Structure 1
């Protein structure tokens, strides 16, 4: 399997460009009941002060506000439900964990799909990279914050609705407090289309780590998005095709 590196600007090596693309291809829409569960979880972990996510990315300097963390948490949980909704009739899979954890504690893994320990990663519908903060991973591709957890597969999910833009448009993205009813009102009528463009095996991730597929803190992705932390990367277009979901177990 070939993995493409980012293109490097010939005049400025800190500017990197996407090499190959895979465009959004809707697989379905997240059910209303899962949207509400995801919203409640994200609110509790941020504005509701019942749990806590890290304000900093590993190796990063930007301290995120509750609004930023809410957007990331809401998107991530929605994408977990997208995988659950897609697979729960054909695979043995647990429903996403909605337990609210204090800082430094979280669920051990996103899913166990049949016998595969699975991590879910999410991005916006136009996203083209899987990004993993380098300080979170060992050279054997084990996840350090979860006691060196070994993931058999990492599934990528993209979400069409732009939570971040909705938050910014309503001047909530950089806020620390927000009324739950008013916030839900901004999202309750939205539709939530998703696609699942691909997955990596543990061996794939180990290859990327050991061959230094890295974008550094301060680099400019596509000449405009400055990286806050150093990340391992993989082009979504290079991931295993997940449209035929029955092949997952055969290829591990």
Structure 2
């Protein structure tokens, strides 16, 4: 059962089902790979990352795009490690640099099951899916023409520390379109302990349920009375996610 956020008129939505951050793994062995990928996708100008969310208005700084890509790739490495530790055979995280209009059809595939990994900062308690990206039957609209529009599972991960805040604290980096790679790497990697909490997952049928149940956090809503939402999102609270152990069992039974 999924629980809706508490609504307070006119536009406040409060989290009611939290889950404490509990580190599953250290990601320090993967930060170099994630850094190179994220840098090349953004500051390196080899790839392309959207500077705004679907339906969103906020134009993201390159540093914000960088940390989103870095955090997302770290999350993929964490999930890969956790699944392979449980004897689940999946592909390694994709480190190819994608150009404009190109993106992965999925993050992982296990047998015939396609898995998407969603990441957020360690304090987040919502898995968010941009509303305009999803059809009523849970198909990912940008992939409809390619035929790979349905994911079987969505895994939600939280990463610590908060990389976005680290960069915001260094405005000489955060506000620039060009940065010194060595300086950025020193800030992100040196002395940092990167950790992941794999909070849980939902299945495709759960996604359809939250879409039909209108689990929507509207654009410009105030999350917990303070964070304004840039775009409308479907959501699942972290305390409502299925445990990863259930996914491991399902994947093993499907092979």
Q: Which string of whole-angstrom CA distances, capped at 9 and with x for unpartnered residues, describes residues 66-99 of structure 1?
A: 1110111111011001001111241111111111
Q: Give structure 2 stretches of 5+ with no counterpart.
A: none
Aligned counterpart in structure 2 of residue 192 of structure 1, from 187, 191, 194: 194
TM-score (norm 1): 0.94
1:8 aligns with 2:7: yes
Q: 1:176 deviation in Å?
A: 1.2
Aligned counterpart in structure 1 of residue 103 of structure 2, from 106, 129, 148: 106
Q: Following the alignment from structure 1 to structure 2, what is the Cα–Cα distance between the partners of residues 225 and 210?
A: 25
Q: How many residues align?
A: 248
Q: Following the alignment from structure 2 to structure 1, what is the Cα–Cα distance between the partners of residues 241 and 62?
A: 32
Q: 1:169 deviation in Å?
A: 1.3
Aligned-partner SS, 2:174:
coil
Q: Give structure 1 stretches of 5+ with no counterpart.
A: none
Judged with a 3 Å threshold, the aligned counterparts in structure 2 of structure 1 residues 149 and 169 are, in CA distance, closer, same or farther, namely: same
Tell me the residue number matched to 1:138: 135
CA RMSD of aligned residues (A): 1.5
Q: Following the alignment from structure 1 to structure 2, what is the Cα–Cα distance between the partners of residues 137 and 4?
A: 20
Tell me the residue number matched to 1:129: 126
Q: 1:56 deviation in Å?
A: 1.1
TM-score (norm 2): 0.93
User: Counterparts in 2 of 1:82-231, with a 5 A limit?
Assistant: 82-89=78-85, 90-147=87-144, 149-171=149-171, 172-189=173-190, 190-231=192-233
Q: Runs in 1 of length 4+ with deviation above 4 angstroms?
A: none
